[in-house]
């Protein structure tokens, strides 16, 4: 049987004690999956390593000899996720603070005045949900009891894990790079799912 190519050998790192080699590409894929389903603000590199071992069905401690490699991959993926999130925030439309404005007609002004005086049913329902759920549980209860949800994007699946944002809101969150077919072409997309629990900022 022919030996492994130099490229394959470069991607496989020997374990201590003559154990089977570790495939860097598989570790990268596993680390990216783990980070897409965990809270980046509270998960330690040690936990990432343990979850990666579990994902790859390795014995606990199997990657201890490669903690620097896992740290390198995790750091790069976290930087990519944070960059994607920052780009998403920048692209989110915000209320205009300047520039030319179209002068409202008397009919428009009257309609807006009526909307302010009589809130829509949708706004009333949203407010009611916030009040109803604001004391439903604590953030700790949410993180202890909430489970990861599977979200379908076409024929692909993402895992949205419980997460607490820096704003204090609880949510189910996932970010992952997926490939979809458009015509006869494969296109890569940065997908993000964010399900914020209404009223959870008060927990």
User: Which residues make Cβ contacts (< 8 Å) with residue 71, sequence separation at least 6?
Assistant: 45
In eight-state DSSP terms, residue 16 is: G
The pLDDT assigned to 173 comes to: 92
The pLDDT assigned to 62 comes to: 87
Contact 54, 63 (CB under 8 A): no
The pLDDT assigned to 130 comes to: 82
3-state secondary structure of 152: strand
3-state secondary structure of 173: strand
The total of other beta-carbon atoms located within 10 Å of residue 152's CB is 8
pLDDT tens for the chain, 203 residues long, are: 444 444 444 455 554 445 456 788 888 888 888 888 777 777 788 888 888 888 888 888 888 888 888 889 888 888 887 777 766 656 555 444 444 555 656 666 655 655 555 555 544 445 788 888 888 999 999 999 999 999 998 888 899 999 998 888 999 999 888 899 999 999 999 898 999 999 898 89
Contact 10, 22 (CB under 8 A): no
The pLDDT assigned to 6 comes to: 46
């Amino acid at each position: 049987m022919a030996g492994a190519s130099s490229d394959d050998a470069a991607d496989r790192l020997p374990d201590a004690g003559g154990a089977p080699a570790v495939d860097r590409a598989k570790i990268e894929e596993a680390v990216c999956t783990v980070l897409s389903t965990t809270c980046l603000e509270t998960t330690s590199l040690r936990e990432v390593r343990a979850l990666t071992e579990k994902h790859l069905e390795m014995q606990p401690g199997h990657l201890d000899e490669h903690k620097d490699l896992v740290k390198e991959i995790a750091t790069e993926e976290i930087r990519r996720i944070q960059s994607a999130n920052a780009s998403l925030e920048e692209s989110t439309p915000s209320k205009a603070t300047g520039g030319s404005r179209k002068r409202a007609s008397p009919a428009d002004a009257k309609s807006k005045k009526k909307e302010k005086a009589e809130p829509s049913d949708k706004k009333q329902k949203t407010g009611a949900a916030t009040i109803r759920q604001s004391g439903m549980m604590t953030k700790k209860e949410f993180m202890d009891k909430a489970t990861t949800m599977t979200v379908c994007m076409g024929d692909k699946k993402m895992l949205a894990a419980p997460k607490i944002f820096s704003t204090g809101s609880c949510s189910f969150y996932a970010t992952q790079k997926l490939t979809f077919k458009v015509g006869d072409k494969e296109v890569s997309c940065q997908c993000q799912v964010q399900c914020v629990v209404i009223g959870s900022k008060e927990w």
